[in-house]
Structure 1
Amino acid sequence: MEGGDHSAGGSDESPSEAEFPSLREEGLPAAHEEQMSPDCSEDMEDSDSLVSERLLSPGSRAEGLGLGFSPAWSLAFFGEDCFNLEVIQYAVNLGQHTGSPCLDVKTQELQQQLMIETRNLKKTRKFYQKLFQQEIKNKGSDNKLMLSKLKSQFEELRSKVVFLDCVKKYLEILRVDQWGLEVSLLPSLAVCGAGSLDIQSSEDPSVLSFGTSKGKRTLQAGSPLGLMAYLYARNAAVEGYIQQFLYSYRFFCTPEKLLQFITDKFIGAASLDLLHIWITDCKRVDFNPQRKSSLVETLENFLNAEVIPVDGRGEVLLAALHSPPSTTWIQGRGSLISFEEDEDSTGVHSSIGDLGRKWRLSRGVEPKDKTFSIATALPMPFYGSLVAGLSSVGLHSEEPLPFGQKEYSAQHISQQLTLLQQEMFQRCHPVHFLNSRTQGVRDKVSTPNRNVAQQIPPAEGSAPPVCEDGVLRQLLTHADSVSNWISAEIVICDSVKTQVALLTKYLWIGKHCYESRNFATAMQVLGGLENVIVRQLPAWKHLSSKVCEILEELRAVQVFLKSDDLCLMGGEPRKRRPTLPSAHILAMHVQKLEIGAFALTTGAYKWPKLRSIAKVVSQVYAFQEAVYPYSLDPELQAYLRRRIARLATSDVHLLAADNDANFQQSSERQTRRIQDTLKRVRATFQ
């Protein structure tokens, strides 16, 4: 999380309406933003991390909603390191002047600071836009110095707003932790009967077992009831335990048993906060109102009968329970959103020459240095604007034209394939990647060892941790379909020249994808090109060395993705870029963590093992947080869908056998063709 030396309240350097009368005017429309300089475009792109004034107004969050606007994946991934010391110290200092710095006082003071800084930030941005447009119209004016000062001021204000929003999240988590119990009370809570909260201080290693790590007492193992009881521990929220538990509890417990535990041990505000976090983070898989579920009915009955008559927050939970799950993660999560002026922005403009940046990595050597990161290995992504003037495609015919006959650029096609992949990936939840082996997911390279990866035995008769909606299987099927489509399109080309052109286009599509961090489609392209039939085509000999280098780059990217299960999480969390991981590679990383026993001989489950799995799968939400800004091309997408559907299950071997361009011609046949050509040439001169 970000920190720094940030002052509270308004800044003396912030522009006021008296100083800049133009601030009262409306902001420039999005269409004008395309004319801005690259520096200004970067400012507008980074403003995705700004806080909406509407969300920051007092009363915008109902009391007791816990982590309603907090990034759950950050807590699951970073744990207690989610917030740095500057954020924590700033929260401690809030409200000290009142003499009674309770959470309500701290929150109210912080809300006021956020409103002031956010308002100043919007004013500065609007004035910058207006001044920049004046500079464009009146070249040679004296506005350059003012623009430079405004840019520095914009960066300073933005840093303040992001920092204060981070403090706001920390206070929200403290609000959850304030109802927590001492750890010594948890063993008694775990075993007490339904409706009975006669708990006493005790220690029972069979329920909760602790160890020492880096001088701190940490949870090492626990029985299913003990791990559920630890949800009520003081500091469980700030340590990230609640989110980590929600992403991993299916290995030892069913959702029904977890809900029964929470309702049986109902502890007022603590249980309500816990239920809200569960509904918010796992609604797509546990409380989806679109699917008939006994879990939804049970919780609804409990809220109506036990909570709503005595606590108004039950109505809020009931409304959250029946609201449809968000289809796009960024729309349903987080308090960091972009301003309205940026909604139509297409990102940073770049030239096609930037795509030629070289990055090579030996194909056979995996990086062993743990500090190896994607930020240092891969070139920075470039989001170019869509290519204009493309020819229209007629999609009303019964048989769409072969892909090789289309005149779309590789960059434009890669962007539309990215949007198709993003649409599918947004349906994923972290738990979809759990126990993928029971769903038939295997390593594509090596034969699975049946003696190593065994099915994990369910605890206390619970079902295996498999999500039954088949989202992961759909992702993997789509990946295989795209790879088979690519192979089929190549082998049905009617000439070697056409194959060379198509191979070149696919390689550039793969390059555009991995440079924009769409590793899913990049690996699908590599899979299609690495097909055993495609690799034997004579057309490969006619590719230029520059194009062949792209294939080596794609192979190197694959090695990098397989080298570390957290390799895509490098860099600054607040500047998370759009990313689409390879679903198969991510599932294989999780499978490796699942190898081995989950439980000790005492029946207690190893919490470090469960926590490491939760950390890896939490990346799913991190990748969904930022979406690609590409414009949708419905015509091209419809064509791509039809071609992929048509060739997804086709037999590449049979298609290749029917095409002479896929075979190396014999020397005798080549000699005969040369002789025939010479005869025709001689005839023209006679």
Structure 2
Amino acid sequence: MQPEFLQELHQQLIIESRNLKKTRTFYHKLIQQERKNKGSDMKVMVSKVKQQFDELRAKVEFLQSVKKYLQVLSVDQWGLALSLLPSLAACGAAPLELQHSEDPTLLHFLCEQRRGKGCPLVAATARGLIAYLYARNAHAEGFVQQFFYTYRYFCTPEELLQFLMDKFNSTLGANEDPSSDKAKVYQRTLDLLHFWIEDAQLVDFSSSSSLLQTLDAFLTAEVAPVDSRGAGLLATLQASPRMRRVCVPSCAFDASISSPEDEEKLSVNSCRRSSIEDAARKSFQWRVSRVVEPQTVQCKEKVFSIAAALPRPCYASLMSNSSLRSEERRPFSQSEHTPLHIAQQLTLLEQEIFHDCHPVHFLNSRAHGVTENSGNISRCASPASSPLEGSGLLVSDVSGPRGPLQRLLTHADCVTNWVSAELVTCDSVKAQTALLARFLAVGKYCYETRNFATAMQILSGLENVIVRQLPAWKQLSLKVCEALEELRAVQVFLKSDNLCLMEGEKDRRRPTLPDALILALHIQQLEIGAFTMTSGAYKWPKLRNIARVVSQIHAFQERLYPYPPDPELQAYLRGRLARFGRCDIPLLASDNHINFSQMPAARRIHDTLRRVKASFQ
């Protein structure tokens, strides 16, 4: 693989990406002009620019695919034959001497040459699995990535690092003959270190990790003096961790190649019914019908609000630093934001927390209290509770009772509780009905834009036992109620298959936020059963299936929602979540007579008493 060719490809990709960005910007300007000056000439121009944009986008995607493919080939050229792996696993830090041999107890393959499937790996010891990282097609087969997701089931990071350091030290000076097996081990070791640092810096090489100090000392004393790649690895290791957080749309990979129609729908200015209809045309096969975006019911008179009268607890982790404004005190049912705009900002809040998660945080989640019933705040396992069954699955656990996954699930619980609380604190059945329709519209838009996390949180809030008994449900039209059935169908779809969100080439390219609890439960199902055979060798197909499911997380994190953030609305939503995220729904509902159906005579008596009471105030 010639470096000049890779450099030329990289430069070409930069040029085409810039042209794509300019074309997208020009397209947006034409769209704005077309809205002001409607005419046939403008439509023709927009159509031509859109066609040019599609061609450039296809070209950029092709160049990106070629770049990734060449990177895989570059790594695989340093691979070893399978018959050399047993001696590689047995060798320590002494000068490497590789010999061809077979050891089924170390690496067990199931040859199916008659079916044209080669010899896939079936089982291996811990050292055998580490040695397979040096196999010729390990990276092309996806083994390298799958290994770094699952190695904690059979070895510690310290053991893995020691193996890699031993292989580097045993091949010093082998780079003089690039075609030798020693040179291949030498180069593959550096590739593996680079992949490990890039992929798991936040997990294994945090600033407080002793592993960071060990690797830093090794790169400084052993690698950098003899190889120029050592300086690059050191720079990557010592740099600030590459946080997988939400950035502005212009810096997202998706923002440069996303279709102009998608970005038009994502903008705040396009919060109109046409956007809902566009999203509906791209919806999934479980859809029943479209839901007309409900209009917010505005109260003409300033009425007493139970929500506004409740004491406001302070949660420093969720509250904005800015002082509470009168706008933030207003009940959610009286806010003027459209369901589309609310859905976008809730998506950004969810995305921010989701991008703090690493795939390995979803492993062994049952040991930290994540169960099917943990979606209820009052039933979540506390950090002090006793370990659950299966708590010893990982040799080295990277999560904990307050890890990123737990924060993601806590946020989901808060959103669910907030939805229920807003509904049971409405001041009238009319406002309650309008708010129900609004939440259904928000949930509908979320799942149509593949934000399944927020959609399922809203569904859980609406499915609360108290909320389901509200009289406002009887006031909703059948067309609006169909959105609830759609959300339930989505929930069944998500629970049906652990790889359901990876189906369809077009859908995989869209930004996606999975439901964290459902995904964690899918992984728990795969973790059931023994990981080892009677011989003590680890079942690689079982580990591979787990890796395939958790790898979705990185795939979803590569695609960002390019919604423009609204700091005011986000601060308002954070405030409402802090206020109602952990409140007692039955207690709130019991203080509001609107939540209970009344006979006509009882309602008249209650209204009379309320008017009399108001006359004395």
Tell whether the 8 Å contact from 2:368 to 2:400 is kept in structure 1 after alignment.
Answer: no
How far apart, CA to CA, are the structure 2 residues paired with 1:396 and 1:579? 33
Shift of 1:298: 0.4
The answer to whether the aligner puts 1:639 opposite 2:572 as a matched pair is: yes
How far apart, CA to CA, are the structure 2 residues paired with 1:181 and 1:487? 59
Q: 1:505 to 1:128 in 2, by over 3 A?
A: closer
The answer to whether the aligner puts 1:491 opposite 2:424 as a matched pair is: yes
Partner of 1:474: 407
Tell whether the 8 Å contact from 2:57 to 2:257 is kept in structure 1 after alignment.
Answer: no
Shift of 1:663: 1.7
How far apart, CA to CA, are the structure 2 residues paired with 1:334 and 1:226? 39
Partner of 2:162: 260
Q: Deviations over 1:567-626 (max 9, x none)?
A: 111222696111111100110111111111111111111111111111111111111111
Q: Deviations over 1:79-105 (max 9, x none)?
A: xxxxxxxxxxxxxxxxxxxxxxx4446
1:407 partner letter? E
Partner of 1:250: 152
Higher helix share: 2
Q: Secondary structure at the match of 2:213?
A: helix
Shift of 1:434: 0.6
Partner of 1:305: 221
Q: Secondary structure at the match of 2:329?
A: coil
Tell whether the 8 Å contact from 1:579 to 1:623 is kept in structure 2 after alignment.
Answer: yes
The answer to whether the aligner puts 1:542 opposite 2:475 as a matched pair is: yes
Aligned partner (choices 62, 78, 99) of residue 200 of structure 1: 99
Aligned partner (choices 324, 340, 346) of residue 417 of structure 1: 346
Partner of 2:243: 327
Q: How do 1:511-530 residues align onto structure 2 when only pairs under 5 Å count?
A: 511-530=444-463
Q: How do 1:170-181 residues align onto structure 2 when only pairs under 5 Å count?
A: 170-181=69-80
Q: How do 1:116-135 residues align onto structure 2 when only pairs under 5 Å count?
A: none
> How many percent identity over aligned positions?
57
Q: Secondary structure at the match of 2:123?
A: strand
Shift of 1:565: 0.9
Partner of 1:63: none
Tell whether the 8 Å contact from 1:454 to 1:595 is kept in structure 2 after alignment.
Answer: no
Partner of 2:276: 355
Tell whether the 8 Å contact from 2:20 to 2:257 is kept in structure 1 after alignment.
Answer: no
How far apart, CA to CA, are the structure 2 residues paired with 1:218 and 1:603? 19
2:362 partner letter? F
How far apart, CA to CA, are the structure 1 residues paired with 2:496 and 2:233? 42
Q: Secondary structure at the match of 1:598?
A: coil
Tell whether the 8 Å contact from 1:329 to 1:625 is kept in structure 2 after alignment.
Answer: no
Shift of 1:167: 1.7
Shift of 1:165: 2.7
Partner of 2:86: 187
Tell whether the 8 Å contact from 2:265 to 2:275 is kept in structure 1 after alignment.
Answer: no
Shift of 1:115: 6.7
Tell whether the 8 Å contact from 2:339 to 2:442 is kept in structure 1 after alignment.
Answer: yes
Tell whether the 8 Å contact from 2:167 to 2:186 is kept in structure 1 after alignment.
Answer: no
Partner of 2:176: none
2:540 partner letter? W
How far apart, CA to CA, are the structure 2 residues paired with 1:380 and 1:301? 61
Partner of 2:206: 288
How far apart, CA to CA, are the structure 2 residues paired with 1:658 and 1:123? 57
Q: 1:198 to 1:458 in 2, by over 3 A?
A: farther
How far apart, CA to CA, are the structure 2 residues paired with 1:408 and 1:536? 27
The answer to whether the aligner puts 1:582 opposite 2:515 as a matched pair is: yes
How far apart, CA to CA, are the structure 1 residues paired with 2:256 and 2:549? 27
1:284 partner letter? L
Q: Secondary structure at the match of 2:535?
A: coil
Aligned partner (choices 275, 280, 295) of residue 193 of structure 2: 275
The answer to whether the aligner puts 1:210 opposite 2:113 as a matched pair is: no
Tell whether the 8 Å contact from 2:271 to 2:341 is kept in structure 1 after alignment.
Answer: no
The number of equivalent residue pairs is 546
Aligned partner (choices 312, 315, 322) of residue 231 of structure 2: 315
Aligned partner (choices 352, 356, 365) of residue 427 of structure 1: 356
Q: 1:112 to 1:378 in 2, by over 3 A?
A: same
Q: How do 1:653-668 residues align onto structure 2 when only pairs under 5 Å count?
A: 653-666=586-599, 668=601
Q: Secondary structure at the match of 1:217?
A: coil
Q: How do 1:390-469 residues align onto structure 2 when only pairs under 5 Å count?
A: 395-396=324-325, 400-444=329-373, 454-455=389-390, 457=392, 462-464=395-397, 466=399
Shift of 1:189: 1.1
Partner of 1:34: none
Report which stretch shifted further, 236-245 or 401-410: 401-410
Tell whether the 8 Å contact from 1:533 to 1:652 is kept in structure 2 after alignment.
Answer: yes
Tell whether the 8 Å contact from 2:203 to 2:398 is kept in structure 1 after alignment.
Answer: no
The answer to whether the aligner puts 1:599 opposite 2:556 as a matched pair is: no
How far apart, CA to CA, are the structure 1 residues paired with 2:259 and 2:503? 29
Shift of 1:544: 1.7
Partner of 2:256: 338
How far apart, CA to CA, are the structure 1 residues paired with 2:14 and 2:570? 42
Partner of 1:43: none
Q: 1:357 to 1:553 in 2, by over 3 A?
A: farther
Q: Deviations over 1:543-575 (max 9, x none)?
A: 221221111111111111111111111222696
Report which stretch shifted further, 432-441 or 486-495: 486-495
Q: Deviations over 1:233-273 (max 9, x none)?
A: 11111111110101111111111111111111224221111
Shift of 1:522: 0.8
Q: 1:207 to 1:416 in 2, by over 3 A?
A: same
Tell whether the 8 Å contact from 2:416 to 2:460 is kept in structure 1 after alignment.
Answer: yes
Q: Secondary structure at the match of 2:219?
A: helix
Q: 1:324 to 1:673 in 2, by over 3 A?
A: closer
Q: 1:482 to 1:395 in 2, by over 3 A?
A: same
2:357 partner letter? C
Gap runs ≥5 in structure 2? 169-184, 297-321, 381-387, 611-617
Shift of 1:403: 1.8
The answer to whether the aligner puts 1:239 opposite 2:131 as a matched pair is: no
Tell whether the 8 Å contact from 2:279 to 2:448 is kept in structure 1 after alignment.
Answer: no
How far apart, CA to CA, are the structure 2 residues paired with 1:638 and 1:129? 29
1:642 partner letter? G
Q: 1:456 to 1:598 in 2, by over 3 A?
A: farther
1:174 partner letter? L
Partner of 1:616: 549
Shift of 1:305: 1.1
2:513 partner letter? L
Q: 1:331 to 1:125 in 2, by over 3 A?
A: closer
Q: Secondary structure at the match of 1:168?
A: helix
Q: Deviations over 1:1-30 (max 9, x none)?
A: xxxxxxxxxxxxxxxxxxxxxxxxxxxxxx
2:276 partner letter? L
How far apart, CA to CA, are the structure 1 residues paired with 2:433 and 2:495? 29
Q: Deviations over 1:360-418 (max 9, x none)?
A: xxxxxxxxxxxxx9854459999x9xx9xxxxx99335982222222222222111111
Q: 1:337 to 1:223 in 2, by over 3 A?
A: farther
Gap runs ≥5 in structure 1? 1-101, 360-372, 388-392, 678-686
